[in-house]
C-alpha cells in the first residue's frame, strides 16, 4: 500500500533542543525513542524495526553511523535498524523509511528516530570546520552553509527589492514563537535591531539570521491507519509524503538554470505531497507549516516554493502577519530552526511530531486552534534534496 492516507503516527517525543553538555548522543536518542514508544502506549518489545536518521556521526566519534546505535542505546537487539542520511532531510528520511516499512507490510509497528550530537565541539568547530576541511579539495573550498544561503539572500533582495529588515523579521517572528516552546534552544524574544547588530556570518547574515548549532533527538512510532484505528489511543495520519532529489552536493551553485530565488527541489517535493494529500490551495487548506528556516531568507523562499504565496511575495506574506502565530497560515510556531536549532537528523522528526501535536490539540501554549492539517518541510544540500510531509487528523 502507499504511505499517504495509510500510515499513521501513533506516538511521538522530542528531547529539549539545546547544548546538552551533560548528555551524549545515545542518551538523547534513548530519551526520544522511549518517549515516543511510551506516547504510543506500547512496550518496546512490540516494535518490529527502527530507522535512524543521523547526518554527521563524524562530529561525535562516529557514534550513530549505523543502526547499531539504536541497539546500543535502547536494547533493541536483534531487530533490524538502518541508519539513513540525506543531508538536512535526514530526519524526515528516517520517518519516510519507517513509513515505507509499515506500508510494505514488513513490520506492524516501526520506530523512526532522528538524533544529532553537534555540540561536543564548538559551533565553529562543528559543521563549518568539518565542511571546510573534509569536503572536496577545490570545488567546495570557501563554501559554508550560511555562505551558500547568503548567495540567495543577496540575489533575492536584489531581484525583489526585499529589505534587510524584512529578512530580520523572520528571525524576530520565530524567536517570538519560541517563547511558547519550552524545548526550543533559544527562548528569548529579539528585535530587528538585535538581528542587524549581530556579528556577521555570511553577508548579509549575522548570527541571528542563522540556526544555532544544537543537540537534540526526536522520534515517532508508525503503524498502519488500520492498526491505529483498532488499537491506538490517539493518532494522526500521513496525508502526503514527497521526497525530491534534484542535485548533487556541488552542483546546485553551478547550475545555470538556478535563479537563486528559491529551490526547485522544494517545489517538486511539495507537488508530490500535495497531489497525494489533495491539496490544491495550500494557504487555504493547511492550518500550519513547519518549514526549513535554517537562515532567514530560507523561510521566505520556502513559503513561495510551498505555494503559500507567489514568487517574490514571501516578504509581503511575512510582513502581513499571516505567518505569525495567530495568522491565517502560521509558519514555524515551534520557533523553527531559527530558535529550536537544527540537530540535523532530529529536525525533520521534530517537525512531524510538532504538526502531530497541533493536530491532536496537545501543543500547549502554542497550539494553533482547530488545526487539522499541517505540513513539515526540510531542505538539504542546499537545493539538492527536499522532503514535504503533510500530516492530518484521523478520519
Partner 1 sequence: MPGPFDSTSTSVSVLDGSLLLPASVVRARAVAGGDEDALTLAAEAAFPVLAAAERAPDVLVLVTTSPPYDEGGSVQALAELTGLAGDVLALELTSSLRDGLTAVRLAAALAAAGGATVLVCAAHRSRGEKDAGDGAAALLLAAAGGGVATLRPGPVRAEELRDRWRLAGEAGRDEGDPSFVWDEGLPRVAREWELEGPSLVGPVARTAARAERALGGPGDELAAAVGVIGAAHPFGRLLLGLDRPQVLAAVAGGLGEALHADPGPGAEAVAARARAVLAAPRSDTLPEPIDWARLTPYASGPRSRRERRQDLRLEGSRCAGCSRLVFPPPVTCPHCGSRELAPELLARSGTVVTETRDHAYPVSRSTGMAVVELDGGGRFYGQVVPSARVAIGDRVRIVPRRLHDGGGAAQYFWKLAPEAVA
Contact footprint for partner 1 (CB under 8 A): 124, 128-129, 132-135, 137-139, 141-144, 146-147, 150-155, 158, 199-204, 247, 250-251, 253-257, 260
Greatest alpha-carbon span in the chain? 57
The set of long-range contacts for 224-227, using a CB threshold of 8 Å and a minimum separation of 24, is 224/1, 224/6, 224/7, 224/8, 224/102, 224/103, 224/108, 225/5, 225/6, 225/7, 225/8, 225/394, 226/6, 227/8, 227/10, 227/108, 227/109
Residue 151 or residue 271: which is nearer to partner 1 going by CB? 151
Separation of alpha carbons 101 and 93, rounded Å: 12
- State the cell numbers at 172: 524576530
Residue 132 or residue 360: which is nearer to partner 1 going by CB? 132
Residue 3 or residue 157: which is nearer to partner 1 going by CB? 157
Residues for the chain: how many in total? 395
Whether residue 175 lies in the annotated active site:
no
Whether residue 342 lies in the annotated active site:
yes
> Is residue 120 within 8 Å of 379, Cβ to Cβ?
no
Measured between its terminal Cα atoms, the distance across the chain in Å is: 18
Residue 129 or residue 394: which is nearer to partner 1 going by CB? 129
Q: Which of 80, 71, 85 is nearest to 33 (CA)?
A: 71
Q: How far is the CB of 200 from partner 1 (least distance, A)?
A: 5
Number of Cβ atoms within 10 Å of the Cβ of 239: 23
Q: How far is the CB of 378 from partner 1 (least distance, A)?
A: 21
Separation of alpha carbons 130 and 117, rounded Å: 14
Q: Going along 120-215, which residue ranges are E strands?
A: 200-202, 205-206
Q: How far is the CB of 82 from partner 1 (least distance, A)?
A: 27
Residue 256 or residue 395: which is nearer to partner 1 going by CB? 256
Separation of alpha carbons 239 and 272, rounded Å: 11
Q: How far is the CB of 55 from partner 1 (least distance, A)?
A: 18
Q: How far is the CB of 388 from partner 1 (least distance, A)?
A: 22
Residue 74 or residue 201: which is nearer to partner 1 going by CB? 201
Q: How far is the CB of 124 from partner 1 (least distance, A)?
A: 7
Q: How far is the CB of 258 from partner 1 (least distance, A)?
A: 8
Separation of alpha carbons 204 and 46, rounded Å: 50
DSSP 223-261: EEHHHHHHH-SS-EEEEEEEEEE---TTTGGG-TT--SS
Q: How far is the CB of 319 from partner 1 (least distance, A)?
A: 23
Which residue reads 516499512 in cell numbers?
101
User: Catalytic: which of 107, 234, 342, 358?
Assistant: 342
Residue 62 or residue 284: which is nearer to partner 1 going by CB? 62
- State the cell numbers at 73: 542505546
Residue 16 or residue 195: which is nearer to partner 1 going by CB? 195
Q: Which of 296, 275, 371 is nearest to 329 (CA)?
A: 371
Active-site residues: which are they? Answer: 88, 342
Amino acid at each position: 500500500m502507499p504511505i499517504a492516507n495509510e500510515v499513521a503516527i501513533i506516538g511521538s517525543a522530542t528531547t529539549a533542543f539545546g547544548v546538552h553538555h551533560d548528555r551524549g548522543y545515545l542518551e538523547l536518542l534513548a530519551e526520544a525513542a522511549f518517549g515516543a514508544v511510551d506516547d504510543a502506549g506500547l512496550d518496546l518489545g512490540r516494535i518490529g524495526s527502527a530507522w535512524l536518521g543521523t547526518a554527521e556521526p563524524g562530529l561525535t566519534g562516529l557514534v550513530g553511523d549505523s543502526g547499531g546505535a539504536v541497539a546500543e542505546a535502547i536494547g533493541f537487539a536483534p531487530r533490524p535498524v538502518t541508519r539513513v542520511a540525506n543531508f538536512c532531510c535526514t530526519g524526515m528520511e528516517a520517518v519516510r523509511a519507517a513509513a515505507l516499512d509499515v506500508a510494505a507490510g514488513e513490520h506492524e509497528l516501526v520506530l523512526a528516530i532522528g538524533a544529532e550530537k553537534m555540540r561536543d565541539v564548538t559551533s565553529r568547530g562543528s559543521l563549518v570546520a568539518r565542511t571546510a576541511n573534509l569536503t572536496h579539495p577545490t570545488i567546495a573550498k570557501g563554501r559554508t552553509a550560511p555562505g551558500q544561503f547568503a548567495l540567495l539572500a543577496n540575489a533575492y533582495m536584489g531581484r525583489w527589492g526585499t529589505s534587510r529588515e524584512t529578512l530580520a523579521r523572520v528571525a524576530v517572528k520565530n524567536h517570538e514563537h519560541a517563547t511558547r516552546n519550552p524545548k526550543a534552544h533559544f527562548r528569548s524574544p529579539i528585535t530587528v535591531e538585535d538581528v542587524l547588530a549581530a556579528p556577521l556570518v555570511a553577508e548579509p547574515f549575522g548570527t541571528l539570521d542563522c540556526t544555532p548549532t544544537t543537540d537534540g533527538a526526536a522520534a515517532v512510532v508508525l503503524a498502519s491507519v488500520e492498526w491505529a484505528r483498532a488499537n491506538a489511543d490517539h493518532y494522526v495520519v500521513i496525508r502526503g509524503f514527497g521526497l525530491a532529489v534534484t542535485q548533487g552536493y556541488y552542483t546546485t551553485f553551478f547550475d545555470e538554470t538556478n535563479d537563486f530565488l528559491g529551490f526547485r527541489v522544494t517545489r517538486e517535493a511539495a507537488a508530490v505531497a500535495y497531489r497525494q494529500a489533495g491539496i490544491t490551495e495550500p494557504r487555504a487548506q493547511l492550518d500550519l507549516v513547519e518549514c526549513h528556516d535554517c537562515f532567514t531568507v530560507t523561510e521566505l523562499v520556502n513559503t513561495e516554493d510551498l505555494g503559500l504565496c507567489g514568487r517574490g511575495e514571501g516578504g509581503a506574506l511575512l510582513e502581513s502577519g499571516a505567518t505569525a502565530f495567530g495568522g491565517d497560515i502560521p509558519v514555524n510556531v515551534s520557533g523553527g530552526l531559527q530558535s529550536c536549532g537544527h540537530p540535523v537528523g532530529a529536525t525533520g522528526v521534530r517537525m512531524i511530531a510538532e504538526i502531530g501535536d497541533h493536530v491532536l490539540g496537545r501543543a500547549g501554549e502554542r497550539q494553533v486552534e482547530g488545526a487539522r492539517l499541517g505540513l513539515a518541510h526540510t531542505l538539504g544540500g542546499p537545493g539538492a534534496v527536499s522532503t514535504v510531509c503533510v500530516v492530518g487528523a484521523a478520519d
